[in-house]
Amino acid sequence: MTSQADELWVGGIGYNSSSPTMGTIRNGFSAVASAQSSNSSSSRNAKCYALECIVSASGAASTGGTLSATAQWAGALATFRSVPSTALVLTGKAAGNYTLNGAAGAVEIRPLPLTVTAVSANKTYDGTTLAAGTPTLSPALATGDTTGILRQAFQDSAVGLGNKVIIPSITINDGNGGANYVVTLVNNNTGTISPAAALLTIDSLTQTYDGSPKAVSVSTVPAGLAVSISYDNSATPPSQPGSYAVAATIIDPDYVGAATGALVIANPVLDWTAWCDSHFTPLEQSAGLADPDVDADGDSLSNFVEYAMGTDPRALTPPMVAQRDVDGLSLTFSHPANLPGVGYAAESSPDLQIWTPVPLELLDSGPPEVWRACDPLTSGDPSRRFLRLLIERK
């Protein structure tokens, strides 16, 4: 092999026996050490010479020595070229962090690989991508370096259960703009954003019959959420008088909420004239069949009482029956609310001769309104008591 000036040559020659001795060594090599195994028989020992030489001019790198023709041996030679005497230079992204003293040549400082891994997080929907938790670092930052930002965020703000992607982010204070690190970001795919609770209110639950469908109105907080509404389990708003169970449910991927109520469609309040017109023909009215004190259907209730109680003057109305319970003797009845020109009262008597006023208690504001007259039976003979309802024209 070839060489150059100021080169170190190192060689080695080994024998399969310790008996031979190396004679004159050529090309300026000198033996710096020899060693052999310790078997008692020289023919079974191995022996090795270490050689070295420093050359001052270029030439062929070779060596040799005097050996017996029958000796079995093997050798190897290596050359080491000297480095030119130029100053060492630091290179690489992190070179600005270091000062090189007392050496010559070139040195490269490579960035440290750093893995930043997001952790799982759970939250209730709030319209943002903010995610709790701190990403993990592997390995730790070098001594003296710190994180400027170390946080994570959901990939989007929509609701998802156990399948939301969480993305980490980091900035590093290392005096080199973070260039001392090669950062790998690892997402987490098990995050959860649960639906948020929304406020749902049902309005327009009391309406008056006019033959058209009567739908309730709803409002939500936040505003503008879609809502599904049913009336007695039907999506069609009712139009006939009566009470209907209303159920409303928010239909939105990011919110949950529900509300219930009762829609009451009441018959319209008619004055006496309008009531007569709705039940009697003009000819019947001219004949006196619609007069206030006439019992048009023969059920012992006058037309005015039928008007006041909201019953049909052309159909039999069952009589009211008093009930006795722990509160005393009571009579429960209903009538349209706010009828003009009508007054209601109740009285109690032990003998149908002496009558004492009994208070009226509103049980349900309806419509129709439901009232109760009750004698507590706290005086006199409780086994003999009468109740009556008084209806007067005002």
Reading the chain (394 residues) residue by residue, the pLDDT tens digits are 455 556 777 777 777 776 777 777 777 777 776 777 777 676 677 777 777 777 776 667 677 667 666 667 777 777 666 555 556 677 776 677 777 666 555 667 889 999 999 999 999 999 999 999 999 999 999 999 999 999 999 999 999 999 999 999 999 999 999 999 999 999 999 999 999 999 999 999 999 888 899 999 999 999 999 999 999 999 999 999 889 999 999 999 999 999 999 999 987 777 899 999 999 999 999 999 999 999 999 999 999 999 999 999 999 999 999 999 999 999 999 998 888 889 999 999 999 999 999 999 999 987 789 999 999 999 889 889 999 999 999 8
Round to whole Å and give the CA distance between 29 and 79.
13
Residue with tokens 């040799």: 64
Q: In the numeric block, which tokens belong to residue 111? A: 């960035």
pTM: 0.50
Cis status of the peptide bond prior to 139, with omega within 30 of 0: yes
Other beta carbons less than 10 A from residue 76's beta carbon: 10
Q: Please give the pLDDT value at position 1.
A: 46
Neighbouring-strand partners of residue 155: none
Kindly state the DSSP code that residue 156 receives in the 8-state scheme: -
Q: In the numeric block, which tokens belong to residue 337? A: 């609310």
Return the H-helix or E-strand segment holding 272.
Answer: helix 272-279
Residue with tokens 């009482």: 305
Q: Please give the pLDDT value at position 102.
A: 60
Q: Please give the pLDDT value at position 92.
A: 72
Residue with tokens 């004190």: 293
CB-based contacts of 287, cutoff 8 Å, min separation 6:
none
Q: Please give the pLDDT value at position 48.
A: 79
The CA-to-CA distance between both ends of the chain, in Å, stands at 137
Round to whole Å and give the CA distance between 174 and 94.
9
CB-based contacts of 58, cutoff 8 Å, min separation 6:
2, 3, 4, 5
